[in-house]
Amino acid sequence: MIEFDNVSKNFGDTRVLTGVTGEVNRGEIFTVIGPSGAGKSTLLRLIDLLDVPAGGAIRINGLDIHADKEKSLSVRRMMGMVFQKPAVFNTTVTENVAVGLRFRGVSKSETRKLTEDALAMVGLAGYGERRARTLSGGEMQRVALARAMVIEPEILLLDEPTANLDPVSVAMIEDLVVRINRDLGTTVIFSTHDMYQGQRLAHRIGVLMDGAFAQVGTPREVFTLPASREVARFVGIENIVEGVVVEREDGTAVVDAGGVRVRARSPFPRGERVSLCIRSEEIRIAPAIRGRRVSDGNILPGTVTAVVPRGPFSRVTVDCGFPLSSVLSWKAAEDLDIREGGRVEVVFAAESVHAVRQG
């Protein structure tokens, strides 16, 4: 439905978008995740015609939206947008929500009914006569959502709408977005720097890095099969190890990582330099037992270098020739008598190792 064709954008000498290519399907929630400054807001602003791309094209239903100025208003009226900073007009809540309807010349009685429905949808029924500026940040953002949705847009753009909100308001907005998408079939593009939020909401995720999509895929694909070392790092894969493929058989490869051999699922040929991505949740730590062998997995002996508390867990780092981290419950760490300087074995399956070509 929305196609990005090599979209670029500069602000002065700064290249914000360097060539975004991808597609958003009708009726899906597409989250754009990426670090701050990756160009997420710029991309959403370009879709909403608030900025003009320097190159490339954005097409909605085949129409290049920036090509024909005459059609700008009708294109923009297909969309609703909520911005990162909660912003309300200096008037009542009802008047805030009604603004888009007034722009479209909707009758007074119809406007009253639609604004009431929209406020009920976002859980603000009864707030209509309150001055919008007196609301909390979370409530203002729900007013903004009601204001964007009351015009029944085909596409809802949300630019980090929960970045400044408390956890309860974040959950509320997320729930609303999912319901809007499910019940009304609205296509949603949601940008966030919170990868877990991206994962929670999305049917598909686009990882925007350095002004282009580094990867587009389902949350599972992005989180388990990152396309590059940078994506892996961004989606929270803590263990990334550099190495060279030295052996190959049946989709499994042996990778030499600084003298330590790691078995990994890899399509790459011998001699290829790869980065091995291993989620810390996939790594087990066991007391050192001499002579244990497995045919298809990895058992790497090492020394515990750090045990750092993290919420109800402990993050244990082991030096196996390169550092590998795992996460254990406090109880498990105690039962296994894991302490700094202790000898342990780090155990993980070849399937848990995702190899990407070094860029």
Partner 1 sequence: MYEIIEGFLEAARLIVTFDPDVMAIAARSIIISFTATIIATLIAVPLGAAINFGTFPGKKNLVNLIQTLYSLPTVIVGLLIFLLISRVGPFGFLRLLFTPTAMIVAQTVLILPIMTGLTISALSGVDPVIRDTLRSLGATRLQFLVNVLKEARFAILASVAVGFGRAISEVGAAILVGGNIAASSFASSTRVLTTAISLETSMGNISQSIALGIVLLIIALGVNLAITTVQHR
Residues that bind partner 1 (CB under 8 A): 45, 48-50, 73, 76-77, 79-81, 83, 85, 87, 89-90, 99-100, 102-104, 144, 147-148, 151, 157
Q: Is 252 exposed, middle or buried (0-12, 13-18, 19+ CB in 10 A)?
A: middle
What distance in Å separates the CA atoms of residue 271 and residue 188, rounded to the nearest whole number? 43
Nearest to 353 by CA among 245, 195, 215: 245
Asked whether the beta carbons of 214 and 230 are under 8 A apart, the reply is yes
> Which residue, 84 or 298, is less far from partner 1 as judged by CB?
84
Amino acid code (one letter) for 187? T
Compare residues 4 and 83 and give the one whose CB is closer to partner 1.
Answer: 83
Dist CA 255 CA 244 (whole Å): 5
End-to-end CA distance of the chain: 31
φ and ψ at residue 316, rounded to 5 degrees: -110, 125
Q: Which is nearer to partner 1, 68 or 256 (CB)?
A: 68
CB of 62 to partner 1, least distance (A): 21
CB of 101 to partner 1, least distance (A): 9
**Residue carrying structure tokens 């707030």:** 127
What is the DSSP annotation of 81-99?
EE-SS----SSBHHHHHHH
Q: Considering the complex, what minimum distance in angstroms separates the CB of residue 170 from partner 1?
A: 19
Q: Can you read off the two tokens belonging to residue 81?
A: 């947008």
Task: Give whichever of 82 and 216 is closer to partner 1, judged by the CB atom.
Answer: 82
Q: Measured from the CB of residue 84, what is the shortest distance to partner 1 in angstroms? A: 8
Q: Which is nearer to partner 1, 144 or 254 (CB)?
A: 144
How long is the chain? 359
Minimum CB–partner distance for residue 27 and partner 1 (Å): 21
Whole-angstrom distance, CA of residue 227 vs CA of residue 217: 10
Residue type, 230: E
Cβ distance to partner 1 smaller for residue 73 or 308: 73
Shortest distance, CB of residue 276 to partner 1, whole angstroms? 44
- In terms of CB distance, is 34 or 100 closer to partner 1? 100
Helical axes 137-149 vs 108-121, angle rounded to 10°: 130
To the nearest whole angstrom, how small is the minimum distance from the Cβ of residue 268 to partner 1? 46
